[in-house]
Structure 1
């Protein structure tokens, strides 16, 4: 499971992510404001599954499918889902943004991707946009991204600059992405940026609509 977070295991076989605990409520506030009351949501790179359980529990009208290419992550998601026993939380498929063969056709009302873009090669961002362009309901399907970005019109926080250096030291294919390059990649898949939301700890959320 790709993460820069300090994970710990629970007796039930799930993984605990401190960052997921910290940012779950701020992210949920944005989701409440922009997701439909009912519909299908596909979560990409769902990691430990803490977000999936939290969001599915708080938004019972949404059919929630978390996914992750990592067997360790899917085991953690499954363990948390078993504990939560939520009727709207589906088993996690092994979706990899670098392998289109397993991608679902949809339609989904929304795709959610939290903290993946900077800990994956740039090609994974391209894959995410192609999947969103193919699987989102049109018009109006929503792609929601969360994480730190480099923004031409905003000074890079020292903590984000240090984080970027640490990512690149761990893997030269990783690193904070230029927001405008992400927006341009989304545009090639028929997705238009409609909102930027500032979040705690120098993160942002970017909301795109399928047109």
Structure 2
């Protein structure tokens, strides 16, 4: 099969790396939920060699991720894990969780399930970082996000840009408090939470 390639990953990887490098400086094991093609994983793992970067994705996407990981041959990218948020989760615990452009693709029940499982897979001091578009106060933050949301809902009724406040409530219920909300290019955000002891 041809190696998958997501142009958006090429565009957003450098700004994301700039934003996560400091918060992840004291981390050791990151679980990436919804690794997509695997492009982010190889870029971030190469730039942050102190991190073990664990990819996870639904079963059908694993062959493409393996192609990226095998080609990069980095020592800190173990084999990708099969992970459907509604199925079994890894037994290992991670001190950081990262996810990019996933919450608006999942159904809301799957977003709820993701947050509900976080305590079981994270250490007591874990950090959580989620990148993507968010609405604020129930409103779009830009015309381009409004158009993107319309496109999403045309693809699937379960897809939509999530309200930041609703996501924060799920994080809080899982024991995570918002620590930073970084404005990113193309009207995206990178939001950070810290697990509360």
Shared fold (TM-score, shorter chain, > 0.5): yes
Establish whether residue 201 from structure 1 lines up as the match of residue 189 from structure 2: no
TM-score (norm 2): 0.95
The count of aligned residue pairs is: 196
Shift of 1:154: 7.0
CA deviation map 1:135-194 (0-9, x unaligned):
1110x2011100001111875200000000111111111100111000001111111111
Higher strand share: 2
Establish whether residue 127 from structure 1 lines up as the match of residue 113 from structure 2: yes
* Unaligned stretches of 5+ residues in structure 1: 1-11
Higher mean displacement: 58-67 or 29-38: 29-38
Q: 4+ residue runs of structure 1 moved beyond 4 angstroms? A: none
* Unaligned stretches of 5+ residues in structure 2: none
TM-score (norm 1): 0.89
Shift of 1:70: 4.0
- When the two chains are superposed, the root-mean-square deviation of aligned CA atoms in Å is 1.4
Shift of 1:132: 1.7
Whole-Å Cα distance in 1 between the matches of residues 33 and 94 of structure 2?
A: 12
Whole-Å Cα distance in 1 between the matches of residues 145 and 95 of structure 2?
A: 31
Flag the 1:155–1:69 CA change in 2: closer, same or farther, 3 A.
Answer: closer
Whole-Å Cα distance in 1 between the matches of residues 44 and 21 of structure 2?
A: 9
2:93 to 95, 107, 121: 107
Q: Secondary structure at the match of 1:119?
A: coil
